[in-house]
Amino acid sequence: MKKMVLISKLIILISIISLSDINAQTVYVTVSTSEADAKIFVDGQNLGTGTLKVKVPYKGCVNVKIEKVGFLKYEQTYCNQPNGTKPPKTQYFDMKKDDALEASIKTDQANIDFAVEVNKNLSKDDSWKLITQIVTDYFDAIEVSDKETSYLRTAWGIQSFAQNTIRTRLIIKLSKSDPFTIKVKLVSEFSGTNSTSVKSDELFHEWDRVLRKYQNVINDFSSRLGNK
């Protein structure tokens, strides 16, 4: 009986020593950001803003993400492996503004058909010339142009940013013949990653913003082509 009690105490003692050893090897990284209200996520959980002491368990890894609307997103994984490089004691993130947001505006004119009734004093040929002129004021290349069916589509205009890729195109189609009315659609899409191929359709999604260089295109059609 005494032998069993001694063995039990020995097991408990070994467990305590092992636990103390593991806790002694746990490391902490103090994460801080240039934006005091930036959210800090640890393994998907929002655990703080601005500054946070992140626990990295022995023989484990944690994923840290930092986010704030209007700024680029940051991500870092810290690992605490026996034979690996230990995480830094502190890490400071100097957050930069989201350049894609800076170069764009939020608008209700993206990805929606807008009807424009063409000035009745313009002939069909003159109307089409003016339509083409407005389009080429904003886009370098026209992919499809058919005056007979009043259909026009530009090639994609693409612009890459630090953490995003934006592609934009214009589509013109006939709404009704009498009075001559066209539908104008400014297609604006984002991929959420840098340098996405313009041909990777599956990676792009509708964006409720447009690049600033296209912000006046719908109004130009209304003011220059519509009835006055």
pLDDT at 4: 53
pLDDT at 79: 95
- Kindly report, as residue ranges, where domains of CATH 3.30.530 are found in the chain: 104-225
Instruction: Give the CA count within 13 Å in the CB-facing half-sphere of 98.
Output: 19
Instruction: Report the Cα–Cα distance between both ends of the chain, in Å, rounded.
Output: 105
pLDDT at 226: 78
What CATH topology corresponds to 25-97?
Answer: Immunoglobulin-like (2.60.40)
CATH number of this structure's domain 104-225: 3.30.530
Q: Residue 139 pLDDT more than 80? A: yes
Q: Residue 177 pLDDT more than 50? A: yes
Query: What is the pTM for the complete model shown?
Result: 0.82
Q: Residue 43 pLDDT more than 90? A: yes
Mean pLDDT, the chain, as a whole number? 90
Q: Residue 18 pLDDT more than 90? A: no
Percent of the chain scoring above 90 in pLDDT: 82
- Kindly report, as residue ranges, where domains of CATH 2.60.40 are found in the chain: 25-97
pLDDT at 5: 44
Residues 19-31, mean pLDDT to the nearest whole number: 73
Q: Residue 223 pLDDT more than 60? A: yes
pLDDT at 83: 86
Higher pLDDT, 164 or 82: 164
**Residue 6's pLDDT band (cuts 50, 70, 90):** very low
pLDDT in tens, 63-80: 999 999 999 999 999 999
Q: Residue 20 pLDDT more than 50? A: no
Higher pLDDT, 101 or 1: 101
Q: Residue 55 pLDDT more than 90? A: yes
Q: Residue 195 pLDDT more than 50? A: yes
pLDDT at 24: 55
pLDDT at 23: 52
